[in-house]
């Protein structure tokens, strides 16, 4: 009897039959018409297409096959040539559409990265201006948040993208932007109206502004804080409220997000030890986005959680700290496998989640590891277009072979942004 649990092995093309799952080696993805370099053979014609490409061998993966290849040396009857040409043409037609979609997707990602870099630059200027007491910065921030709000409240899909952040970008600013984007994404799903979205966005952007009043030496100190140092750090919500409250243009509805973002659902937070619904809704949302971003972007990269782990940790170990309905919404927005998570797919491929659309979170976009494709041309697939593929599990970075790690280059900083305006999938 055939044993489908046996390890993978090399077979001759003559041994192949429909139902056998193979991996092509030494054939560039761009030079064969199959959508993936690993796939299950569906017809005799596909075997003929392989022959016509000059492929003589493949790796059989028994675990994913319906049946095992035939015995070695068994010459099989070749299908008629016209059928092969037709099969090859059909495969190429589909593949060319795929390549075109890939090209468009890469252009859209590049556009999103550009917009992110520009936003981060604007935001850096705004936050610096505001900490110097420049109230004009508040108006600029309002315009910025209103643009984000209009995006979230429009019918455009709010796909959340993983961004490549330049190492020199200051964490303070990318943190503010991450917390604002994530908070507003949750706010939209929580049904906030246009004004509440602006209050939330402004509160999220400036939630840590009070830290500018605290010595950098204390802020950067890791662990072993003295009691006075801890007390000083815990004053940043009040400092923030004082600074922003003194600016007439700053929306009053945003102040609770600044003052209460370290309050916790079970009353264990600071500064007032508020609990449950005594904490303002905007602050409950910002608290979740803030903790998540700090888990993913710990000052010591070794201590950072992967996005998947950060979510599981918050959901299992820190559940008591947050509003449970909002935490559930947050997880819904980010998807089970948030952007930045490295996953294994049902065909054995390994990829990293690049983007997730909250309305279809089981079908993220992924960049795939394929040693046959140069890294800079890496395949990006949308699981929504691949009915036969699904995510099987998340993989911890330390379990990733070096070669795959280098190829996918999982981010040491997890930074998100939303689709540029007016773009639909
Ligand atoms: Fe804070
Ligand atoms: Fe924060």
Mean pLDDT of the chain: 87
213-221: long-range contacts (C-beta < 8 A, 24 or more apart)? 213/239, 213/243, 214/239, 220/299
Domain boundaries, the chain: 9-79, 97-418
Sorting pLDDT into bands at 50, 70 and 90, what band is 145? Answer: very high
**Ligand 2 center from residue 312 Cα (angstroms):** 20
Which pLDDT band, with edges at 50, 70 and 90, does 219 fall under? Answer: confident
User: What's this model's pTM, rounded to 2 decimal places?
Assistant: 0.84
Q: Which of 87, 5, 109, 6 is nearest to 43 (CA)?
A: 87
Counting runs of H as helices and runs of E as strands, what totals does the chain give? 13, 11
> Binning pLDDT at 50, 70 and 90, where does residue 60 land?
very high
Q: Tell me the mean pLDDT in the region 384-403.
A: 85
Side-chain-side CA neighbours of 235 within 13 Å: the count stands at: 15
Most confident of 79-88, 90-99, 357-366: 90-99
Which residues keep their CB under 5 angstroms from ion ligand 2?
208, 290
> Is-contact 148 205, C-beta < 8 A?
no
pLDDT at position 77: 54
Question: What is the distance in A from the centroid of ligand 2 to the CA of 69?
Answer: 57
**Quick one: pLDDT at residue 99?**
85
Query: Which ligand places an atom closest to the C-alpha of 183?
Result: 2
Average pLDDT over residues 152-161: 78
Distance 292 CA to ligand 2 centre (A): 10
248 alpha carbon – ligand 2 mean position (Å): 24
Instruction: Give the integer Cα–Cα distance in Å for 261 and 269.
Output: 9
Q: Does pLDDT of 425 surpass 50?
A: no
Residue 1 predicted with pLDDT over 60: no
Each residue of 96-142: pLDDT tens digit?
888 888 888 888 888 888 888 888 888 889 988 887 878 888 999 99
pLDDT tens by residue, 178-201: 999 999 999 999 999 999 999 999
Nearest ligand to the C-alpha of residue 291? 2
Say how many Å lie between the CA of residue 293 and the centre of ligand 2: 8
pLDDT band at residue 395 using 50, 70 and 90 as cut-offs: confident
CATH code of domain 97-418: 1.10.3210.10
How far is it, in rounded angstroms, from Cα 65 to Cα 40? 7
CA–CA separation, 17 and 7 (whole Å): 18
284 CA to centre of ligand 1 in angstroms? 13
Lowest mean pLDDT, pick from 161-175, 268-282, 315-329: 161-175
Neighbours of 39 (CB within 10 A): 16
Q: Which of 27-31, 55-59, 103-107 has the highest mean pLDDT?
A: 55-59
* Closest CA relative to residue 186, chosen from 259, 250, 99, 282: 282
Distance from the alpha carbon of residue 290 to the mean position of ligand 2, in angstroms: 5
Ligand number nearest CA of 286 is 2
Residue tagged 């610096």 (tokens): 128
């Amino acid at each position: 009897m055939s044993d489908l649990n046996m390890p993978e092995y090399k077979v001759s093309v003559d041994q192949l039959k429909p139902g056998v799952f193979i991996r092509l080696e030494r054939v560039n993805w761009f030079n064969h018409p199959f959508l993936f370099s690993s796939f299950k053979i569906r017809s005799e014609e596909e075997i003929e297409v392989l022959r016509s490409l000059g492929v003589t061998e493949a790796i059989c993966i028994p675990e994913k096959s319906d049946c095992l290849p035939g015995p070695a040396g068994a010459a099989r009857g070749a299908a008629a040539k016209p059928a092969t040409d037709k099969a090859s043409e059909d495969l190429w037609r589909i593949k060319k559409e795929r390549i075109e979609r890939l090209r468009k997707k890469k252009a859209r990602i590049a556009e999103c990265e550009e917009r992110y870099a520009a936003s981060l630059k604007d935001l850096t200027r705004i936050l610096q201006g505001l900490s110097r007491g420049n109230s004009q910065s508040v108006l600029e921030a309002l315009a910025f948040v209103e643009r984000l709000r209009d995006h979230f409240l429009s019918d455009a899909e709010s796909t959340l993208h993983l961004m490549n952040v330049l190492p020199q970008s200051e964490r303070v600013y990318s943190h503010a932007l991450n917390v604002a984007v994530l908070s507003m994404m949750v706010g939209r799903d929580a049904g906030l109206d246009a004004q509440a979205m602006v209050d939330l966005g402004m509160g999220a952007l400036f939630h840590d502004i009070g830290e500018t009043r605290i010595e950098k030496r204390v802020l950067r100190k890791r662990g072993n804080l003295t009691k006075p140092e801890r007390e000083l750090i815990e004053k940043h919500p009040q400092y923030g409220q004082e600074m922003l409250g003194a600016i007439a243009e700053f929306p009053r509805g945003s102040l609770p997000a600044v003052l209460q973002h370290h309050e916790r659902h079970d009353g264990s937070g600071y500064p007032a030890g508020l609990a449950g619904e005594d904490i303002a809704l905007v602050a409950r949302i910002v608290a979740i986005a803030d903790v998540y971003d700090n888990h993913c972007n710990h000052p010591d990269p070794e201590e950072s959680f992967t996005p998947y782990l950060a979510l599981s940790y918050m959901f299992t170990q820190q559940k008591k700290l947050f509003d449970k309905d909002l935490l559930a919404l947050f997880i819904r927005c980010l998807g089970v496998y948030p952007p930045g998570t490295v996953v294994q797919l049902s065909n054995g491929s390994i990829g990293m989640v690049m983007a997730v659309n909250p309305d279809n979170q089981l079908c993220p976009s992924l960049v795939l590891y394929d040693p046959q494709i140069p890294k800079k041309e890496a395949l990006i697939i949308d699981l929504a277009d691949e009915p036969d593929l699904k995510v099987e599990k998340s993989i911890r970075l330390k379990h990733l072979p070096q070669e795959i790690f280098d190829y996918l280059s999982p981010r040491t900083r997890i930074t998100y942004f939303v689709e540029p305006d007016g773009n639909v999938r």
